[in-house]
Amino acid sequence: QVQLQESGPGLVKPSGTLSLTCAVSGGSISSTNWWNWVRQPPGKGLEWIGEIYHSGSTNYNPSLKSRVTISVDKSKNHFSLKLASVTAADTAVYYCATPSHFCSGGNCYWYFDLWGRGTLVTVSS
Amino acid sequence: DIQMTQSPSSLSASVGDRVTITCRASQSISRHLNWYQQKPGKAPKVLIYAAASLQSGVPPRFSGSGSGTDFTLTISSLQPEDFATYYCQQSYNTPRTFGGGTKVEIK
């Protein structure tokens, strides 16, 4: 079955750019699905960062939109996150995730049923 | 953005207790509401989707209800493995938003 695995530097300097990759195994990133990033500061709740479709269409959280870029590399079967101008507030576990959906009565309901294990990124000098 | 408000933020309960967690959306989201369980150091795991549908493999002691703005997650008989943090999440629109979480602790 499809699995997700995050990778990237665990330490980023303030004002630098956080860069992470999520490798998709057991399936194609070109399948009909959205590929997401979610983060969780230590001891805090979950925050949705954004998503990308395999075609390249994106949706971002407005709170991060000016600093976030999510991209997809079909040749490598992975998608990536870049977060610019980081501060200590960006220290978090970063998860990649992808949803399934359930359709009933003309409505489709999306839910995150596949997650990576998460990777801790610390912003510090 | 749709704000999701969970209550309580934490609770203490005993094995066998019935536990109820509520989630309120700042606007109507129909049934576009999911519940997740998260244990320390692990990724969230979906329990309930579309407000009331039980994810495959999740024990039937978990149930969800509600529509519009008010939702409930119920654990009918709390088991030792259920001590965790629970989050609601709306999938009505983007940005996807989560509730602040409810930590279920052992009494």
Contacts of A88 (CB under 8 A, 6+ apart): A14, A123, A124
Between A45, A102, A116, which is nearest B49 by CB? A102
Least confident of A72-81, A100-109, A116-125, B49-58: A100-109
Half-sphere exposure of B88 (CA within 13 A, CB side): 35
Mind listing the pLDDT tens digit for each residue in A57-94? Answer: 999 999 999 999 999 999 999 999 999 999 999 999 99
In a mutagenesis test of the B interface, which of A34, A46, A102, A113 is the best target, namely the one with the most B β-carbons within 10 Å?
A46
User: Could you give the CA distance from residue B74 to residue B63 in angstroms, rounded to a whole number?
Assistant: 5
CA distances from B61 to A92, B37, B82 (A): 32, 14, 10
Q: Which two tokens stand for residue B105?
A: 């602790």
B1 touches chain A (CB under 8 A): yes
- pLDDT value, residue A85: 98
Mind listing the pLDDT tens digit for each residue in B95-104? Answer: 999 999 999 9
* 8 Å CB contact between B44 and B37: yes
Å between A93 CA and nearest CA of chain B: 9
Helix, strand, coil shares, percent, chain B, to 5: 5, 50, 50
CB contact under 8 A, A111 and B43: no
Mind listing the pLDDT tens digit for each residue in B39-93? Answer: 999 999 999 999 999 999 999 999 999 999 999 999 999 999 999 999 999 999 9
